Amino acid sequence: MSIIILQDLFYIVLLVGLSVPLGNYIYKIMNGQKVFLTRLLAPVENGIYKLMGIQSNEEMNAKKYTLSVLLFSAVGFVFIWLLQMLHGFLPFNPQAIEGTSWHLAFNTSASFVSNTNWQAYAGESAMSYLTQFLGLTVQNFVSAATGIAVLFALMRGFVLKKSTTIGNFWVDLTKTTLYVLIPLSFITALLIASQGVVQTFIPYKEVAVLESGAVQTVPLGPAASQIAIKQLGTNGGGFFGANSAFPFENPTAFSNLIESLCLILIPAALCVTFGKAVKNSKQGRVLYAVMLILFIAALSVTTVSEQFAAPIFQGAAASGSMEGKEIIHGVGASSLWATATTAVSNGSVNSMHDSFTPLGGMMPMFLMQLGEIVFGGVGSGLYGMLAFVLLTVFIAGLMVGRTPEYLGKKVEPYDMKMVCLIVLTPPLLTLLGTAAAVIMPAAETWLNNSGAHGFSEILYAFSSMGNNNGSAFAGFQANTVFTNVTGGIIMLLARFIPMGAAVYLAGNMAQKKSVAAGEGTLSTSNATFAGLLIGVIIIIAALSFLPALALGPIADYFTTR
């Protein structure tokens, strides 16, 4: 256990050490300042603007910014949908994989456009190389960049005064992709490819198994380039069906460290960016601290559950629950990854969450149900957390009978309506989707388990889709017309309703004048506020999901002991 603790401490120290300079770098990108890549990438950036026919200095109001987000995402959605159904007739398909069904294509398109990357298929048997690199990998970049762009707009909303505009979506999208996501992905792809992650266009290979001589097909493909951005962009969609539990996606302890760091790196860095953007680094540090506290608490519960709550068999040494885990990673690295991937709405896995102990599996599920705010998705995690901050400020204001303020802006009824859309849309969709699935006549045939664990599989699936995560309990059969269509709709609504609300919140905040802080102003940069914020987050999540968790993993814990 001491080795696991040291491993986790090393991970957290390394994460903080890397996220601070990256956060400062992203702030410069957001403000249009020159960075070391400007000389190389500025001509490319200007060429993109010219090709798109936009003016880089043109500003947008909230309505135009939102419409741009929706239009851009809709075009990507239709393109991927058609590409999946037609890739059997297109090049870069050495295995002659046929096109997918319309409903699976719909679900996958909704999944990748919404940055959820829920997968009801195995990539090596359902997707051609062309679909993987031209469709899914491209969406990994632009869906992540869209989330960061919306966060930039919200940051400007807090900073600007009496302004009717909040920036330009196309500029934010382009800068984020060119200066942040592509360089980081290039470095990450080189690092993991050096460890054995495949990157090739040659067909699958047939090899003889050493022990029996039986012939086995080894899947290949341009994987490293997609895996890099799937981790950095909190996408999570694996090139292969087993995701990062598959050796060709994550072969060594070093590749596991790199990929698990990439899970949280950009969301953590954006907390630093936020502090710089609002000219008050303490605000960013408080949000970073709250996220880190919740992350460490969840990691502790998951690790302890997997290490000490595993079944004990007579004559076998107790070494934690290794069911569903790779030996090279063990309990420690598997628990760390499971916590990180569900905290940041990534969804990639290096072990099977369905095989975790009941409480060990409950914590990743609960992290998703918090609303992807413990670091959360790139951009979307922080604007989700800021919604909880405004809710906390509003509640505190009601307690003392004072108009709530945050960063010099009064929090008014319209702002709280947008906050409610951001905070309440994911849990509502999660519970509605779970309820609809449970009452379906064929529900039992979709499960590998009955009873409480079977319910947990359904609850986990819709918690994942309703909170832009994408991971799953492997026992749930997801490739059905009902799940594909219902899940696809849920993923789109859970992504774009809060996103649109965040943009309109930004627009409303930008129009306000700044209010000077007085003696009665609630400080939002101290430990007291951090504690209050954590309390509000936990209470909202508990009120939303405790009954469902009691029927699922909690009941599973008491019935399998």
Amino acid 310: pLDDT: 67
pTM, two decimal places:
0.94
pLDDT tens, position by position, 267-295: 999 999 999 999 999 999 999 999 999 99
Amino acid 357 reads: T
Q: 282 or 371: whose pLDDT is higher?
A: 282
How does residue 209 score in pLDDT terms, banded at 50, 70 and 90? confident
Amino acid 314: pLDDT: 54
How does residue 2 score in pLDDT terms, banded at 50, 70 and 90? confident
Q: Any idea what the Cα angle at residue 192 is, between residues 188 and 195, rounded to 5°?
A: 155
pLDDT of 520 above 80: no
CA distance 92 to 221: 10
HSE-up of 528 (CA within 13 Å, CB side)? 5
Lowest mean pLDDT among 217-231, 301-315, 415-429: 301-315
Amino acid 561: pLDDT: 60
What value does the mean pLDDT take over residues 255-263? Answer: 95
pLDDT tens, position by position, 149-169: 999 999 999 999 999 999 999
Q: Where are the alpha helices (DSSP H) in 210-280?
A: 223-232, 253-277
What value does the mean pLDDT take over residues 222-228? Answer: 93
Residue-wise DSSP of 52-72:
HT--TT----HHHHHHHHHHH
pLDDT of 258 above 80: yes
The mean pLDDT value of the chain amounts to 91
Q: Hey, is 207 helix, strand or coil?
A: strand
Amino acid 300: pLDDT: 94
pLDDT of 1 above 80: no
**Secondary structure of the chain: what % helix, strand, coil (to 5)?**
65, 5, 30
pLDDT of 316 above 70: no
How does residue 516 score in pLDDT terms, banded at 50, 70 and 90? confident
CB atoms within 10 A of CB 410: 15
Query: Are the C-beta atoms of 99 and 87 separated by less than 8 Å?
Result: yes
pLDDT of 508 above 60: yes
Lowest mean pLDDT among 90-104, 231-245, 301-315, 546-560: 301-315
pLDDT of 262 above 60: yes
Cα 336 to chain center, whole Å? Answer: 15
Phi and psi at 187, nearest 5°, equal -65, -45
CA distance 41 to 24: 19
Q: Which two tokens stand for residue 460?
A: 């986990």
Lowest mean pLDDT among 142-146, 237-241, 300-304: 237-241
Amino acid 236: pLDDT: 86
pLDDT of 378 above 70: yes
pLDDT of 317 above 60: no
- Give the CA dihedral 534, 532, 423, 238, nearest 10 degrees: -20
pLDDT of 402 above 80: no
CA distance 60 to 29: 18
Cα 1 to chain center, whole Å? Answer: 29
Report in angstroms the alpha-carbon separations of 131 from 73, 168, 385: 17, 30, 34
Residue 509, C-beta contacts closer than 8 angstroms, at least 6 positions apart: 154, 157, 158, 160, 409, 415
HSE-up of 519 (CA within 13 Å, CB side)? 0
Amino acid 172: pLDDT: 96
How does residue 538 score in pLDDT terms, banded at 50, 70 and 90? very high
What value does the mean pLDDT take over residues 484-504? Answer: 96
Query: Are the C-beta atoms of 315 and 305 separated by less than 8 Å?
Result: no
pLDDT of 403 above 80: no
Identify any residues that bridge with 325 across adjacent strands, giving them in sequence order.
351
Amino acid 479 reads: N
Q: Which two tokens stand for residue 105?
A: 């294509």
Amino acid 438: pLDDT: 93
CB atoms within 10 A of CB 412: 14
pLDDT of 318 above 70: no
Residue 403, C-beta contacts closer than 8 angstroms, at least 6 positions apart: 397, 410, 411
Amino acid 537: pLDDT: 94
| Distance from the first to the final alpha carbon of the chain | 22
pLDDT of 407 above 80: yes
CA distance 289 to 77: 36
CA distance 68 to 212: 57
pLDDT of 223 above 60: yes
pLDDT of 347 above 70: yes
What value does the mean pLDDT take over residues 316-323? Answer: 69
Question: In 209-255, at which residue ranges do the beta strands (DSSP E only) sit?
Answer: 215-218
Per-residue exposure over 323-352, b if at least 16 CB sit within 10 Å of its own CB, e if not: eebbeebbbbbbbbbbbbbbbbbbbbbbbb
How does residue 129 score in pLDDT terms, banded at 50, 70 and 90? very high
pLDDT tens, position by position, 6-40: 999 999 999 999 999 999 999 999 998 999 999 99
pLDDT of 182 above 60: yes
CA distance 212 to 208: 8
Amino acid 217: pLDDT: 87
CB atoms within 10 A of CB 91: 9
How does residue 544 score in pLDDT terms, banded at 50, 70 and 90? very high
What value does the mean pLDDT take over residues 397-422? Answer: 89
Amino acid 313: pLDDT: 54
Amino acid 375: pLDDT: 93
Residue carrying the six token digits 């789109």: 492
What value does the mean pLDDT take over residues 79-106? Answer: 93
pLDDT of 187 above 60: yes
Query: Are the C-beta atoms of 170 and 69 separated by less than 8 Å?
Result: no
Report in angstroms the alpha-carbon separations of 321 from 136, 155, 318: 34, 43, 8
